[in-house]
Every structure is written in C-alpha cells, then in structure tokens.
A and B are shown apart, each in its own frame.
Chain A
Amino acid sequence: MKFKDAKYINDYTDSTKDPYITIYAVVDGRHLSIPCVVGNRYYDEAMKQVKAGTLTIKDAD
C-alpha cells in the first residue's frame, strides 16, 4: 500500500476528546478515512510503515 498525505483526524466537536479517531490518507489513489483500530488492514499497514520509518502521519489540526 502506498500512503500519501497521511494525517490524524480528531473529534470535530471536541479536539481535546480524542485526537486520534481516524487517519485520513490517500492510499493507492483512494481517499480513505481509516479507523485507528488494530486489525484493520489499512491501519495495521500504516503502523507498520510508521515503525519502519517509511511513513509519517501528521498530527490532527
């Protein structure tokens, strides 16, 4: 999977509540909102690439 423009998305109603609800990323050309849940293949792959140092996910606004 090729991730582009990866960024955490917080709770829009209260950014202090949970800053890591989902990750927005363009994955192989598709615009995805990825739940931060272990077991989701996109999230798992993103974490793998972060650990490998090949992907950086920007903080939420």
Chain B
Amino acid sequence: MSKAAELAALIANVNKGSSLAAKNFIINGAQNVAQRGTSSTGLGGSTGYYVTDRNKLVFSTSGRLTMEQVADGPSGFLNATKLSCTTADTSIGAGENFLFSQYFEGQNLQSLKKGTSDAVPITVSFYVKGNASATYGMEIYDLDNTRSISTTFDVTTGWTRVEKTFAGDTSGALDDDNAASLAIFLWLHAGSDSNSGTLNTSWNSVTAANRTDSNNTSFFDSTSRTFFITGWQMEIGEKATEFEHEPYSVTLQKAQRYYIRRNAAGAYHYFGAGHVAAVDAGRIYTSFPVEMNHIPVLETSGTASDYACYNSDVDACTSVPALTNASTFETGIQLANSSNAFTLRSGCNLMANNTTDAFLAFESEL
C-alpha cells in the first residue's frame, strides 16, 4: 500500500470511529507476551489458554499439537505463535473443531455501536504462514445475541497478510459489562456440524452448519502441518491499517487483566509478606498490577513442599497455598503447616522452598 493510500485508509477509519492510538482490540497481537512459557506439547484434549497470552484454543478433536512462541515473523515482528500438528485426526467427527480465538469484554466494544443503525464495520488483519497451502475459516461471533458472520482466508508457505472487513451489525447490542461479548474464531479444523451448510457471509443468527466453509482445511490432516500467526489486529473501519506496535510493558499490562504469573526467580524466591495468625496458619497479601477481569483462581505447582513460610525459620507448607479474601484488585493467600511450626503473631513471607518449580498464577480469563 502506498503512503497516500495508507493515510487515506487511516483517515477513513478514524472517520468511522477508530482511534489513532489503541485502535487494536486484539491484545498481544504481536505475540510478544507468553507468561505461561514458550512451549506446550500434547495440546488438544482441553480447551484453554496456553503459551502466548490471550489466545484461547478451543478443542474438540483427537488430534494433538505443540504450541510455541517462536522468534519468527514478517519484517518488523520479532515473535509469532506457531502450532505444529503432532497427532493427526483424519477421521473428522461431525461435532469436531479446533478454533484459535480471542474473546473480548463487551464494555470494550461499545464503540462498534453494534445493534444500532450506526453500527460500524470492523477489519481484521494478521500475518500467517504454514507448511503448505491451506484455506481456513474466520468467524466473528456475538456471544450475547448468538449472531455471527464468517469468511475464509488462505495460508501459503510464506508470510502473507490477511485483511478481511466485516459489515457493522445493526442487530444485537453488546452488553456493557466485563463478560465476554464477542469472539474471533479462526477455524483450523471443522466437522460437518459446522461446515455442511452455506458459509454465512453476512450477520445472522447462528446456524451451526454455516459457521465455516465446507472446504475448510483440517490443521490435523497430517503431522507435517504447521500454522504461524502474528500481527493480529481488529480495528474499526473498512481498511486494514498498519499494525499498531506497542511496548512490551503495555501489552503485558493489558494481558495481566486476565492472567498474572509470578515464577520463582531463584530457589528461595519471596512471593510476598504477611503475618502468622496461628501456629499452623499464615497469610500473605498481594496486590495485582491491574484490576483483573473478575476474581481470579490461583494456580500453584500442586506440591505443598515447593512453598514455605519464613518467619523464625523456613517451614515448608503442608498444603498448597490457597486464596482467601480475594478481590479483583488484591488477594490474601493462606499458608498451612500441620506440625504447628509457625511462630504466632510474627511477620512471615511466602517463599519458594529451595526450588524454582514454585509459582503463583492468577487467572481470570474470559
């Protein structure tokens, strides 16, 4: 795109209601943040969030894959998310699927004016490549009103930018709250329940069979299949504008509304301070760097002895740390020692107990 055309597209989008800054509704579009780690294998049995932040993998398949954050990308991008098929699924059941997705809070989407006569178009863009040519489906799905619109996109062996524009939807307003209202689904595997009809290319109430195309390539068709993505953007307007790069710290803070992970940086890492309220129980308190979407769950290593309470001595925990008095801004964490080893009414720290396996992760994903 020439500079003049780029400027014209930008102005046109601003006139539709887009912003010059913070125009991208996708969080972690450049795939730079990976709090959960840079690789996870054997995925496919459970829907969830893995590796690169905010990307939700929805599974119903016997296929399995490895997900990685890799140092790859078109010019200007340092990272991409790579999916590699490790177990093929060539006998596709009617209800099977695999969706690479991102979910959005309704309160962040009110500028789309969805459900009004002023509804604005949105444009989704991203860079993709794979091991071979493929055609996949893309769907914008309104979770509040069970409406959707779909298209397809092509993948080649080199980085190409996909740019797809969707009309504004004058039906179905999105809830103005912190719950998931809209999702983008990239259909990488689909059974006949989802692709045996006619692709739904305009906003309609969801008809399952029309959600993706009958020619949808299956990511699980062979163990040589790969899928790379980066530069994912969703913006208001009818033209894809240049990807909005942002500092790592800005992306991290956006992602931390949904997931915060604190790994043990050393064998005796301190996670936080508090007090011993009983000889067998202590509490620490920790604030979140940003208000979380909702009261989170706490994930631990699952091994009580990975954690210790340090007051007069380092005493291993006998139960894994547990939440108490949690809110969206901060939480207490309970520590236990069934041998009554804690010193009553002393200060204490929650620490790693001579291991870097200890971690605390707070999750409030959509």
A11 at the interface (CB under 8 A from B): yes
The residue on B at minimum CB distance from A31 is B302
Is the pair A33, B298 in contact by a Cβ cutoff of 8 Å?
yes
Contacts A29-B46, A31-B300, A33-B321: A12 and B294 contacting too (C-beta < 8 A)?
Answer: no
Contacts A21-B323, A24-B322, A39-B294: A12 and B280 contacting too (C-beta < 8 A)?
Answer: yes
Rounded to whole Å, the gap between the CB of A7 and the closest CB of chain B is 10
Report how far A11 CA is from B325 CA in the complex, Å.
10
A2 at the interface (CB under 8 A from B): yes
**Chain B neighbourhood of A24, CB < 8 A:** 320, 322
Is the pair A22, B322 in contact by a Cβ cutoff of 8 Å?
yes
B48 at the interface (CB under 8 A from A): yes
Is the pair B299, A12 in contact by a Cβ cutoff of 8 Å?
no
**Chain B neighbourhood of A32, CB < 8 A:** 297-299
Is the pair B46, A12 in contact by a Cβ cutoff of 8 Å?
no
**Chain A neighbourhood of B48, CB < 8 A:** 28
Report how far A42 CA is from B48 CA in the complex, Å.
12
Interface residues on A, range: 20 to 34
**Chain B neighbourhood of A31, CB < 8 A:** 299-302, 320
Is the pair B297, A35 in contact by a Cβ cutoff of 8 Å?
yes
B336 at the interface (CB under 8 A from A): yes
Starting from the known contacts A2-B46, A12-B277, A39-B294, 16 additional A-B residue pairs (CB-CB under 8 Å) come to A1-B46, A11-B324, A13-B278, A21-B334, A22-B323, A26-B302, A31-B302, A31-B320, A32-B297, A33-B297, A33-B299, A33-B300, A34-B323, A35-B295, A35-B297, A39-B295
Please give the residue numbers on chain A whose beta carbons come within 8 Å of chain B beta carbons, in ascending order.
1-2, 9, 11-14, 21-22, 24, 26, 28-35, 37, 39-40, 42
Please give the residue numbers on chain B whose beta carbons come within 8 Å of chain A beta carbons, in ascending order.
45-46, 48, 277-278, 280-283, 294-302, 319-324, 326, 334-336
Listed A/B pairs (6) with beta-carbon separation below 8 Å: A1-B46, A13-B281, A35-B323, A35-B326, A39-B295, A42-B297
